[in-house]
Structure 1
Amino acid sequence: MVRIFSRKFGCLPAAALTVALLPTAAHGSQAHDPGPTVSESGGTLTVDVPRAHGSPGYSVSLPTDRQIALTTRKSGHTVLSTGPDALRFRAGGTWQHATTLTGWRWQDGTLTLTTGTTLPGTRVEARLTPTTDRYQLDWQVTGVEAEQLGLSYDLGSAGHWYGHGETSTPSGGPYTDQPWPLDAGQVEQADFGPASYQMVDPFWYTESSTGLYVDTGDPMDVSLNAGGDGLGRFTVASGQPYRATVFVESTPRDVYRDYIGIVGKPRQSDATYEQYEKPLWNSWAQFYTAVDQQKLLDYATALHDAGVDGHTIQLDDKWESNYGNLTFDPKAYPDPKSLSERIHALGDDFGLWVTLWINLDSTNYQYAADHDYLLRDAADPSKPCTVSWWNGTAGIVDLANPEAKAWYQANLKKLMDTYDVDGLKFDTRFFDDHCAPREGHTRTDYQRLGSELADSYDLQGAGIRVHWGATAHQAGFVIRQIDKGTGWNSLKASVSQNLALSTIGYPFVETDMIGGSSGQPAPAKEVLVRWAQSASYMPLMYASTSPLGTTDVTTGQRVDYDKETVDLYRAAIARHERLAPYLWDQVRSTLKTGDPIVRPLFFDFPEDRASYTIDDEWMLGPAVLAAPNLTSSAARDVRLPAGTWYDVNRGRTVKGPVTLKAYATPLAVTPAFVNLHAEGAAKALTALRGR
């Protein structure tokens, strides 16, 4: 323990004051470590944390004579600093913020700070607790009941920013836009939280190897460079104490590993080897809701006969008699048992799309409401919560009620047993912020409950969209992206979105359905082919639009693709199948380390500064660099970091670092390179040479 020092500014001595923290065992500290020190000099209060055990050391400073701001430095350089109104809060519908420091004390390894605010009669109390590779920043407002608390950062102080997950942007994100890095675009996300349909986590990391984790179960309002302001604002919709962890590391990958140390790595992969090896075919983008028994069977048969099928045919939305009934529409599916049998005869598994959302006009709705099986309304808990979605108005099965869960699963069992259904694609969400958690539960509990439900079924490589918290990270689900458009911008967004999802702790990623699935005009031949080529270098391939032809949902007209489309799509599938042994090695490695399979180049090559803005290349494990063409151009530049690389398409060796200018990419060419000195290089070469 150390002695307490507490001063009221205005009576500070001119001499500098330094306080040393006796070393503790936190984060591996040893008895000989000097530990953090605190000093005050020249109007600045500074916490210094020395280099130790692979951590680079850092300092955090703040002014004592003007508005509070926090500046983090490493090796003498600023690596993160707060922006204007660093600690801000909303009270009485008006935004206020912390002002000048009024007191501080250093005790038991925590620096406690007090400040005035712009709201008379209130103050901010903050606690900064440093350890070797991070510091905890907790703060709250006293004297008023705050409605929201927020941190503000100057984005440019840390270089580029990453993380977050699927982004809402004015340019169409997350459907047609996903900025990478985040500050290259404008992120405006007012519904950022555990109940969001978008895959998000309150974790961000930076080019300067700092990171931010906000520990909350409440919704947030997050903006990064909104309106081009250069600021990151991370606001929690609660007046409860704000809990943030700021990481300070040597590389971005180290920051990622620190975060995984908090939320945990996957304990399993919910997908099998075959599901990594072969595509999953889902009916959605091919038919949308205009699907029936004969159409699905014709679709499956044609894919099989053309040699472009996979492991499963999954029937998506619009098979039920009504949403939530969990019974087939007899008009569209006169003999669903026969449908299942014929799909199995093709060598495919059969799967169904399901949801816990029960429409008000469904037969099951009144039964569920009468038995208290539905989530209750947040504003009026005496009645069921109703939510609007793309298929109407619904209630949501309350998984925190064991009887409701048992009833729902009994309906699923009857359905699956009757029609020999092999697996399920769970869609929508397990909770909505219009609803109230059951007594004794929180929003994040519903992510856990949904994960536990889904984990008892074969998800067939379609995975599930759960996020936010240890349960989601440790469950090991395949993560499918939110629906994408069908143009080049969506293809590019699908790549940068996988980079974002992978590096917030979800390693088993796949793009949205190859070719897109959000109801836009059918993808052009080139987009469909390039998407398949890109997906062949991802952990899993998730397919829908048939290369044999589809229907343009916007016109109702048939769209036929040519033989080259089929041949190139087939080649992409074959390449992915050959990569399966290498991919499976990456899955097993991830289960040990938690490292992402798909990752930005700078995770493996942090000294390669050019790679920090590359959004159309990625490392697939340690040995494979994928650089497919994601545009209509006939060529693209390819960045190769330091090392010896084998050019798969040209059969040559290239020394890096180098940028290959205008690398020719005719439609049959998908640029890819193998790092010859990386683990797994031999297996990757065997796969990509095609022998």
Structure 2
Amino acid sequence: MRILSRKFSRTSGCLLAAALTVAFLPSTANGSPAQASGAHGPRVSQSAGAVTLDVPATHDSPGYSLSVPKSGQLALTTRRSGHTVLATGPDALRFTSGDNTWQHATTLTGWRWRDGVLTLTADTTLAGTTVEARVTPTADRYRLDWDVKGAGATRLGLTYGLNSAGHWYGHGETTTPSGGPYTDQPWPLDAGQVEQDDFSAASYQMVDPFWYTQSSAGLYVDTGDTMDVALNSGGDGLGRFTVESGSTYKATVFVESTPRDVYRDYIGIVGKPRQSDATYEQYAKPLWNSWAQFYTNVNQEKLLEYATDLHANGVDGHTIQLDDKWESNYGNMTFDPKAYPDPKAMSDQIHAMGYDFGLWVTLWINLDSANYQYAADHDYLLHDAADPTKPCTVTWWNGTAGIVDLANPEAKAWYQGNLQKLMDTYDVDGLKFDTRFFDDHCTGRDGNTRTDYQRLGSELADSYDLQGAGIRVHWGSAAHQAGFVIRQIDKGTGWDSLRAAVSQNLALSTIGYPFVETDMIGGSSGQPAPTKEVLVRWAQTASYMPLMYASTSPVDTIDATTGQKVDYDQQTVDLYREAIARHERLAPYIWDQVQNSLRTGDPIVRPLFFDFPQDKAGYTVGDEWMLGPAVLSAPNLTSADTRDIHLPPGRWYDVNRHTTIKGPTTLKAYAAPLGVTPAFVNLHAKGAVEALRALR
């Protein structure tokens, strides 16, 4: 194998151009290189100003180039067809060492092209320290691995200029200065500010280290460590992706023709769902959970009255699920006898109304629980990261707790034995698992990592009927392939939260979790009860999502801030029932999309530009979405009676006005009073006939 390499100083003159052709390694569906050969593979050349890696186009990849300047600060610029699609920003490769002061790579000092890997070396702002970066190209992406040499690094980070790639998407649920993820979810990401220093597989927020762009580039950071992610923080226009570790920084940059192709590349790495944990009925009908209706102020009498009112008013559903505060103490897994004098009779009455019965559960055992000392004595709890000789204790919204260690087979068997006894005794059909399976204050048993505990939690939950409530596992192949329904983090009860719920579902769907639902219809974070308008609009919105996750009754509810009963009028009940009926009519079409996701990994809920990448207007539309290939949903997410609606190219059937419209076009001030939910069918798309049957 021939080697092409150069060493040069800042004062070097123009170097002779050189290039090397090597065997080309195209990517396969699972993201790993496949053996192939050809005369027209990647090559490296240099000019007076830069070292450039060129990867030619193939029949299914557009080709790209990566250039690195030979003077000035180290930078990486990725181009497709001569146009920049992704470029690093200031302090492109940065790190901390010793006193935690940020340092960064400066001038390129040498490069080498050997065995299909371009190795770059650069000086840094820290004396005696260099950076070595290795670029490994394949047809539609390149791997970027880099290390600090000469000092012990504690953090490594990449910086990109956001505007180099157009708009940014991905990430998952965002922490923002404007209330995210509860009342704010910027779409696109660069339209707001994301500041998330606990971006991790152990985070309660659903996140993945994957981002993609309007320019059809993408970034995947392959790490199990906690990250600090900042996008447009303080309006700086930068994306900073920092790993809280000094180990090799491992990233993959995708270069494709469309954003959807980038998404498919990522799914090729993490995997598509092998199943859906929800049944057809759970897709077709709502799940009714007690949380937002009562929060922790719930008991047997209230739950039965809740179920009876829903049933009497013809508000359909498949399950009544009792959420938080049924236990005598958290972790006891026994009913509080004062609040629930006869749990079996309660279960029987719910079943008699035609509902399944479910319970909220957690692996977090409070210190005042009778089970805590037993679990601690038998080494059933995760150990403390700072002092592994004692159990880890964590603070949550219900007190201080230990966490059952799923990496201990005896602990898992003990926990599941308690669950099974509870389910058998009270005829419990399914469970809602809440909180997390790991916490960063804890240490894993026998070398198990954060992502291992996501896998262990997935395996535990997968042995139960989750009743359409799913679980919140993420980050890694186990989470993606498990195929759980993903429920959003708690939302507020206002219009801002409804809008955040829509864009958050777009974000979650397009990082590889196709079976999404909004938070409980109407919100669930302890704010004043939702107004009639918010509750109805939320139900209408959810009717065009894969599943409907409900709590606040359209008959009446309790305002958590005052404790007072709130009565809704008959129109609220009627419009909520109408939304449920529409969703049930759409169920055959939605079920087809579930099967397609299992085959392909494609999302069900997706932004307009996934299906219409050439339609530039669609890249900033965050209040409309495609439900599969045939249905465009554009519900009203504000208090106004009208809204503007963008339709991409195609022939669209307006299901409310019964007219056909040619796109692309924008329908200005489309009339959408409370009883109207704007939606359109793409007449030339697969599934259009079934969608028309449901929506006409």
When the two structures are superposed, what TM-score results if normalisation uses the length of structure 2? 0.98
Give the letter for the 2:57 counterpart. R
Q: Which amino acid aligns with 1:19?
A: A
Counterpart check, 1:60 vs 2:66: yes
Partner-residue secondary structure (3-state), 1:19: coil
196, 213, 238: which one pairs with 1:206?
Answer: 213
CA contact 1:128–1:135 (8 Å) conserved in 2: yes
Q: Which amino acid aligns with 1:45?
A: V
Helix, strand or coil at the partner of 1:17: coil
TM-superposed CA distance for 1:43, in Å, is 1.8
> How much does 1:261 deviate?
0.2
Q: Which residue of 1 aligns with 2:611?
A: 604
Contact 1:21 1:109 survives alignment (8 Å): no
Bigger shift: 23-32 or 625-634? Answer: 23-32
Work out whether 1:184 is the aligned partner of 2:191: yes
Q: Paired residue for 1:70, among 72, 76, 81?
A: 76
Distance in 2 of aligned mates of 1:18 and 1:463: 56
SS of 1:137 mapped into structure 2: strand
The residue aligned with 1:274 is 281
- Is the 8 Å Cα contact of residues 249 and 255 (structure 1) preserved in structure 2? yes
Asked if 1:327 is matched to 2:334, the reply is yes
Does residue 669 of the first structure (1) align with residue 676 of the second (2)?
Answer: yes
Give aligned pairs, total.
689
Instruction: Tell me the distance in 1 between the aligned counterparts of 2:39 and 2:436.
Output: 48
Q: Decide which of 611, 623, 630 is 2:637's aligned counterpart.
A: 630
Measured after TM superposition, the shift of residue 25 of structure 1 is: 3.8
Structural RMSD (CA): 1.0
Hey, what's the Cα distance between the residues in 2 that align with 1:539 and 1:441? 34
Cross-structure match for 1:17: 17
Cα-to-partner distance string for 1:156-193 (whole Å, 9 max, x where unaligned):
00000000000000000000000000000000000000
Matching of residue 88 in structure 1 with residue 81 in structure 2: no
- Kept after mapping to 2: 8 A contact 1:281/1:542: yes
Quote the residue 2:482 is aligned against: 475
The CA distance in 2 between the partners of 1:182 and 1:506, in whole Å, is: 18
Any conservation in 1 of the 2:70–2:108 contact (CA below 8 Å)?
yes
**Deviation larger for 563-572 or 30-39:** 30-39
Aligned residue number for residue 428 of structure 1: 435
In structure 2, what is the equivalent of residue 47 of structure 1?
Answer: 53
Residue 243 of structure 1 corresponds to 250
1:30 and 1:435, CA in 2 relative to 1: closer, same or farther beyond 3 A? closer
Task: Tell me if structure 2 keeps the 8 A contact 1:525–1:561.
Answer: yes
Q: Does 1:168 align with 2:168?
A: no
Matched position secondary structure for 1:5 = strand
Deviation at 1:14, TM superposition (A): 2.6
| 3-state SS in 1 of match to 2:640 | coil
d(CA) in 1 for partners of 2:160, 2:425:
56
Mapped to 1, the partners of 2:2 and 2:481 lie a distance apart of: 39
**For residues 607-628 of structure 1, what are the alpha-carbon distances to aligned partners after superposition, in whole Å with 9 as ceiling and x for unaligned?**
0000000010000000000000
Counterpart residue identity of residue 386, structure 2? A
Q: Distance in 2 between matches of 1:439 and 1:368?
A: 18
In the alignment, the residues of structure 2 paired with residue 70 and residue 11 of structure 1 have an alpha-carbon distance, to the nearest angstrom, of 21
Q: How far has the Cα of 1:18 moved from its partner?
A: 2.4
Matched-pair contact (CA < 8 Å) for 1:18–1:37: no
Instruction: Give distance in 2, aligned partners of 1:433 and 1:687.
Output: 47
Q: What is the alpha-carbon distance in structure 1 between the residues aligned to residue 615 and residue 39 of structure 2?
A: 32
Give the distance between the partners of 1:587 and 1:15, measured in 2 at CA.
56
Deviating beyond 4 angstroms after TM superposition, the runs of 4 or more aligned structure 1 residues are 10-13
Give the corresponding residue for 1:106: 113
Residues 579 and 684 in structure 1, CA contact (< 8 A), matched pair in contact too? yes
Distance, in Å, in 1 between the alignment partners of 2:155 and 2:88 is 18
Equivalence for 1:7 = 7
* Structure 1 counterpart of 2:456: 449
Task: Quickly say closer, same or farther: Cα 1:123–1:567, change in 2 above 3 A.
Answer: same
Alignment of 1:330-345 (within 5 A): 330-345=337-352
Partner of 2:31: none
Query: Following TM superposition, by how much is the alpha carbon of 1:309 offset from its aligned partner in structure 2, in angstroms?
Result: 2.7
- Is the 1:281–1:309 Cα contact (8 Å) retained in structure 2? no
Amino acid at match of 1:516: G
Letter in 2 for 1:187: V
- Answer yes or no: is 1:516 the counterpart of 2:561: no
Q: Which moved more, 1:167-176 or 1:439-448?
A: 439-448
Q: How big is the shift at 1:142?
A: 1.3
CA contact (8 A) 1:327 1:415 kept: yes
Counterparts in 2 of 1:117-156, with a 5 A limit? 117-156=124-163
In 2: Cα distance, 1:442 partner to 1:8 partner = 42
Kept in 2: contact 1:2–1:22 (CA 8 A): no
User: Matches of 1:22 and 1:375 in 2, distance apart?
Assistant: 50
- Per-residue Cα deviation, 1:552-611 (whole angstroms, up to 9, x for no partner): 000111111000000000000000000000000000000000000000000000000000
Matched, 1:401 2:408: yes
- Counterpart pick for 1:223 among 227, 230, 233: 230
For the Cα contact (< 8 Å) 2:23–2:36, is it kept in 1?
A: yes
User: What is the alpha-carbon distance in structure 2 between the residues aligned to residue 462 and residue 430 of structure 1?
Assistant: 16
**Contact 1:21–1:108 under 8 Å retained in 2:** no
| Distance of 1:15 and 1:139 partners within structure 2 | 25
- Cα contact 2:287–2:548 (8 A) shared by 1: yes
Pairs within 5 Å for 1:287-436: 287-436=294-443
Amino acid at match of 1:5: S
Report if aligned partners of 2:283, 2:546 keep a CA contact under 8 Å in 1. Answer: yes
Query: Aligned to 2:18, what secondary structure does the other structure show?
Result: strand
Q: Distance in 1 between matches of 2:146 and 2:37?
A: 30
The whole-number CA distance in structure 1 between the counterparts of 2:444 and 2:127 is 36
What is the rounded CA distance, in whole Å, between the counterparts of 2:54 and 2:306 in structure 1? Answer: 65
Matched residue type, 1:297: L
Deviations 1:196-228 (Å, cap 9, x if unpaired)?
Answer: 000000000000000000000000000000000
Deviations 1:131-177 (A, max 9, x none): 11001000010111111000000000000000000000000000000
Q: CA deviation at 1:23?
A: 2.0
2:447 match: secondary structure:
coil
Aligned-partner SS, 2:5: coil
SS of the equivalent of 1:147 reads: strand
3-state DSSP class of the match of 2:190?
Answer: helix
Shift of 1:22: 1.5
- CA deviation after TM superposition for structure 1 residue 53, in Å: 2.3
Inter-partner Cα distance in structure 1 for 2:228 and 2:3: 40
Matched residue type, 2:562: T
Do the aligned partners of 2:3 and 2:112 also contact (CA within 8 Å) in 1?
no
- Find the residue that maps to 1:596 and give its secondary structure: coil
- Paired residues of 1:156 and 1:230 also in contact (CA < 8 A): yes
Q: Which residue of 2 aligns with 1:34?
A: 40
What is the distance in 1 between the residues matched to 2:449 and 2:564? 47
Q: Are 1:193 and 2:168 matched, yes or no?
A: no
Partner of 2:465: 458
d(CA) in 1 for partners of 2:351 and 2:553? Answer: 19
CA distance in 1, matches of 2:304, 2:562: 23
Identity of aligned pairs, percent? 78
**For the Cα contact (< 8 Å) 1:9–1:64, is it kept in 2?**
no
**Within 2, Cα distance between the matches of 1:32 and 1:553?**
67
Gaps of 5+ in 2: 28-33
1:10–1:460 CA distance, 2 compared to 1 (3 A): same
| Contact 2:93–2:157 (Cα < 8 Å) also in 1 | yes
CA–CA distance in structure 2, aligned partners of residues 561 and 334 of structure 1: 30
In structure 2, C-alpha distance between the alignment counterparts of 1:409 and 1:316, rounded to whole Å: 19
Provide the C-alpha distance between the structure 2 equivalents of 1:380 and 1:424, rounded to a whole number of angstroms: 33
